[in-house]
Every structure is written in structure tokens, then in C-alpha cells.
Structure 1
């Protein structure tokens, strides 16, 4: 019996198995298995020795690339098995997987889309490379139709594309005038032959809805690319703005933020830290995860350290405890002001995280020409402005619905609390077995919630009941008012980019070649 060995990693394993007698053991195991299932008796044939001869096949597909080709080889083997053809290939073995990938792609796309649609897909693939040469003209017309739009392109000495940056003028104006001065910085890997990374920044409006602030597209993700992206963001926002940043745990983003805004606050999203904790202690440890969130959500310093001590104690128990160190030892290296409410500065507005806009999730799933990516994002922002301007026109109260619901919860919570004036605007509130001090004029409460969120806490609202002439709305940060929300979206508009046949050609020609294929 001949047994043919197809090894995509070369002869090493074959020679090792042969010298160690693995093949002989394999033959005995097969023989024992056939006896166990009564193979010979069921077929009514005499038992014969297997006499296996193990033959190493030359010129078979070989692994190439850092991602491996195991799945591709499985498909190749199954195809040859059902067709009765040999697995050997005539082309270079190291290119066999790539050739088969291309053939599979054409078969799959052709069966799903049909020949006409398939030709369109192949045409788009060609257009992806050509779109880089059109990018300078495209951005020129984007700026022409949307005044004060900021764009930038970085290229190599040989005029090949490296990075680009885009921030719509109306979005920048909206952020500077009407939005919380806190920016989420993130990135997504891109599928494709040219671009590898999309950089983006997102901000929150007064109704806690995310709005895409700026994007960058690049051929690599490194410290230098982050520094370039953040410097371009600083160019369009200006030097005299006080702004804070949040992001996932990423040293490269930290480097970029500190390079452009060395004096600004930069915190982390607790969700990202919680995921890392779950990876370290196991996803079934609900106690550790729960204690982390209690530490993160604590407003007072005393409550925070109490919860943190419980978290550390839980991690010292079996099965997490190690004689060398705690599984979350790295948490001690992260400044607590970056992830816990008790130490959030006011610039963070008590925001733990900001959602990524849906359009970015769509773009990152497939490859598009670079001009199409920017156009899709521009169209998405345009629709957000139209939708939110329509919603703002139906606001009935002085606050946005999100903030109004927050205030109402505080009102309901404070009904049975007693507040008494100590002197001037300073009050003492008794409630929930605790005593809290409030200073109305300074908008400060010893519980820490008011000054961190910009929304009066239940203690402040209890004090207002003793001063019936004052409105709660006046104590809410003005960026949470419905007036500012209407100003944000009702006074601005994203203009559609004209068809390419109507593009204006700039006087100065910019030569831009596509980057090297990844």
C-alpha cells in the first residue's frame, strides 16, 4: 500500500518521522483499527498485511507569507481529491497558494455576481490603483464645495502615496462651537492591496451622539504616521483650543497625541482595559470584572480605593494568584486619572467611551478606491447633519433628550433629601445615609458628579428646591442645551461633491502615484 506525503513545510517532518519510526507505528495503528472495526470480516476477505510504503511527494505547494496558507491548501487538496487529479503543481510551489487564491476569488465572485457584475468588480480593482492619481483633484473640489475644509497629502520622494488627511470645514466649526471638547482617537485595519489603516477622530454632541471629526488613510500604522495625523488635526483645530483625548490602550496613539498636544489630557476607554483584564484572568471571572467596573465608576476617591483594594485582593486568590506577580500587575502602570471617574478631569465630561460611527465599520469590511472612501464618509456626515437638524426642530425642552433624561433621574432621586443653607451659596444635603456639601455658584458637589459631567447631581437639585426662582437648566453646561444642538446642525451643511465631469482642475498639478501593493 502506497501512502503519499504532501507536506507544505518541506522534507523536515518526513525525514524526522522516518528516522524515529513514526511511520511504522502509524501502520500498526491502522492495522489495529481495521481489526477493531472488523473490517476484514465484514467484507468477507482474508486479512492481509498492509506493507505501507511512505512516499514523499516533490513539487507540492509550499507555505509562503507570514499568515500561512493552510486553508488554501485544504481547498486545493479537496479539489484535486474529488477530481482525481494529482496534487503536484507545475508552477513555482511558493506561488501556488497565491495563484489558487486568485482563481478561487474569480470563481466565487463569478458564481455570486454573474459575469457582468464580475467584470464591474474587476474594473473597480483597476480603478483602486488609478484613484490615487485622481486624489489631489478630488480633494481640491471637496474644498471648493465645502469652504474651510482641511486636507493634506504626504508622499514619498518618488511621488508615491503615503498618507492623506481630511476634515470637513463645517464639522470643525461644529466641534469648536457646539461640542464637548473631548475627542476619541482610533484606527481600523483596511482590507486591500494598497491601504492598510484608517485613522479617525470622533467627538460627542450635546445629545451624546458621535460625529466623525477627521479621518486619515495610510499605507502603514506606526508612531510616525500617528504623529503626522495628530499634527494635521492640530493644524485644523488651532493651537489655542483646550481639548482632551481618549483612546484604547495603544502606545503609538499615546506617542501621536503627546507629540501634537503635550499638555493635553489623554485617557483610556475602560472597556479596552476590561477586555485586557478578562484576557489575563479568564473570561469566566465575573467577580474580577465586576470589581473593576465598580472601581472605574466610583466618583469619590475613598470609594475608588476601597473598590481597587477589593479588586487586587480578588486577583490574589486562586486561581489567579501567582508567586511572582498579580495577573493585572500592568494596571498599576496606568495613571488612575486615565481610566477612573474619581480622578477624571473636567475636560473628560465624565465620558467613558465614544462609539465608532457605523460607516467606518462598513468601509473596513471591503476594499474601495480611496476617493470612494472619502466620498462615502462625506455622504454619511451629510446625512447625519440633515437627520439631526430635523430632530432638533422637534425638541420641546431646553435640554437635549439625553441630558433631560439624566436630569430627570437626579430629580427623582433627590425627592426625599433635605438641604439646608450653611452660608451664602453653600448647602449641606442629607440623603442615602450620607452628608454632602454643595456650592451652587461654583457648580461643585463633594460627591464629584456635577463638576465632572457638567450636569447637576441629585444633591444640587435638592438645594435648588430651596431657591425656587432658579431653573435647573441654567446649571447645566450650555453645550447640552437644545439651542446649541440646533445651532450645531441647523446652521451648517455638507455640500455634495460634483460628478467628476464637472470637477475643476487646479492650476498646480500634483503628481501622485499609487503606493506599493501590500
Structure 2
């Protein structure tokens, strides 16, 4: 189980992960409760999940005041399963999904087939359409899973759980180190100011160099 966020540079950032029983309400509820302990709760929290995932049914119990939406790709896939692939469905759907105002939404929505309109209406526009989302969605339309976790899901199934946890933590630390420091390593600068001021490599840069094999 993984929770990700989008940082100020529009990069996907892992903020929490856990291991539990697949498609288990108890496991997902436990994960969400731990996530809530870490980030807090309230109407400013926006959670985006794939439509139909078991975890989606648990969000209302743990985050009753948060806004919950669906990823656009999962909504499109659901619509295609219900009505089949129709002409211009992908193009029109994403135009509808990305519309900023309801006037533009309605204008494009009317061009969809009757079947597609019915399916999308039953899902609820507030769950997937930018124009109707009741809070700031921060331009998050889909869920981007970090590439290293996609690799781990295939290559690490037979390793002990502690080893798997260590691998994930190492990758997350490496990602943070690269983003925080590597952008300025060639200029010998760090956000702490020590490297530039003293001309001596600071601890942050040393950590980044170690994780990136940059010696």
C-alpha cells in the first residue's frame, strides 16, 4: 500500500507505505489510520484513488471530512468496460475532465454518446471532473506510482518482509537526497548554506553523493 503526493516541482513523492493483505478492508483501514496520524485530517486533505479499489470504500470512515476523488484513467477504463470503446471517447472524456468551468464542461459533455453520459453521470461529476470538484485538486488527475516501486512489485516478491522494507526505505531516501541536493552539486551549493560559505562539503551533499555514487 502506498500514498504519494506531488511536490512543488510536480514530482511524485512517496509519503507513506505499508504491507498488508491484498483487497482487505482491515488492512486498508489500518493503513489509512496510520496515514491520518501522520498528515492530520480536515477539509484541506484531498485523496485521489483508482475507482473501484477496495481502499476507496474505506476513506469515508477514516477521513470523513476530506475530499475524495477518482483518477481520470480509472474512470475512463470503467466507462469503456460498461459501454465499450466508442468514437472519440478518450479525446472527449479528457476534454470534459480537464474543463475548468461548468460551461465548457457541459458543452463538451453533450458531445459524448448517450451511454457514456449516463455512466459518467452515475459516477458523479464531483468525483472526477475538475469543474465540479469541491476543493482544489492541485491539477492531480491521475496517480503516478514511482518507477522503483513498479520494479519492486515484480522483482521482490520472494524476499523477507524486513528486506523489502529496507529496499523501499533506501530508494525513498535516495530520491529525497537527489532532489534536495543533486540539482546544485555541480555548483557546490546546498540549501543549508555551509558548502558555499565554508568551501567544505556539508553532510547533506555527502549523503547525496553516497546514494548517487557521485564521488
Tell me the TM-score normalised to structure 2 length: 0.77
Aligned mates of 2:42, 2:82 — CA distance in 1: 41
Partner of 2:99: 298
2:108 to 288, 307, 331: 307
1:328 Cα deviation (Å)?
A: 5.9
CA separation of 1:336 and 1:289: change in aligned 2, threshold 3 A: same
Aligned mates of 1:308, 1:261 — CA distance in 2: 31
1:381 to 168, 172, 186: 172
Map 1:159-308; keep pairs closer than 5 Å.
Answer: 199-239=1-41, 242-250=44-52, 252-283=54-85, 285-308=86-109
1:206 Cα deviation (Å)?
A: 0.3
1:281 Cα deviation (Å)?
A: 3.6
1:246 Cα deviation (Å)?
A: 0.3
Larger strand percent: 1
Report the secondary structure of 2:16's partner residue: strand
Partner of 2:184: 393
CA separation of 1:241 and 1:373: change in aligned 2, threshold 3 A: farther
Question: 1:203·1:211 contact (CA, 8 Å) conserved in 2?
Answer: yes
Aligned mates of 2:60, 2:42 — CA distance in 1: 16
CA separation of 1:200 and 1:253: change in aligned 2, threshold 3 A: same
Report the secondary structure of 2:80's partner residue: helix
Map 1:410-421; keep pairs closer than 5 Å.
Answer: none
CA separation of 1:220 and 1:346: change in aligned 2, threshold 3 A: closer
Question: 1:277·1:328 contact (CA, 8 Å) conserved in 2?
Answer: no
Aligned mates of 1:242, 1:377 — CA distance in 2: 28
Aligned mates of 2:180, 2:74 — CA distance in 1: 33
CA-to-partner distance for each residue in 1:125-161, whole Å, 9 max, x for gaps? xxxxxxxxxxxxxxxxxxxxxxxxxxxxxxxxxxxxx
Report the secondary structure of 1:365's partner residue: helix
1:228 Cα deviation (Å)?
A: 1.5
Map 1:61-140; keep pairs closer than 5 Å.
Answer: none
CA-to-partner distance for each residue in 1:368-404, whole Å, 9 max, x for gaps? 211111111111011111211234437xxxxxxxxxx
Question: 2:70·2:127 contact (CA, 8 Å) conserved in 1?
Answer: yes
Q: Is 2:174 aligned against 1:372?
A: no
Show structure 1 runs of 5+ residues with no match: 1-198, 317-325, 395-482, 484-489, 497-518
Show structure 2 runs of 5+ residues with no match: 186-190, 192-203, 211-215
1:277 Cα deviation (Å)?
A: 2.4
CA separation of 1:251 and 1:378: change in aligned 2, threshold 3 A: closer
Aligned mates of 1:222, 1:279 — CA distance in 2: 24
Question: 2:3·2:15 contact (CA, 8 Å) conserved in 1?
Answer: yes
Q: Is 2:142 aligned against 1:341?
A: no
CA separation of 1:207 and 1:350: change in aligned 2, threshold 3 A: same
1:251 Cα deviation (Å)?
A: 5.5
CA separation of 1:241 and 1:380: change in aligned 2, threshold 3 A: farther
Question: 1:243·1:347 contact (CA, 8 Å) conserved in 2?
Answer: no
Question: 2:126·2:133 contact (CA, 8 Å) conserved in 1?
Answer: yes
Report the secondary structure of 2:47's partner residue: strand
How many residue pairs are counted as aligned between the two chains?
191
Aligned mates of 2:150, 2:94 — CA distance in 1: 27
Question: 2:99·2:130 contact (CA, 8 Å) conserved in 1?
Answer: yes
CA RMSD of aligned residues (A): 2.8
Query: Does 1 or 2 have the higher relative contact order (CA < 8 Å, sep 6+)?
Result: 1
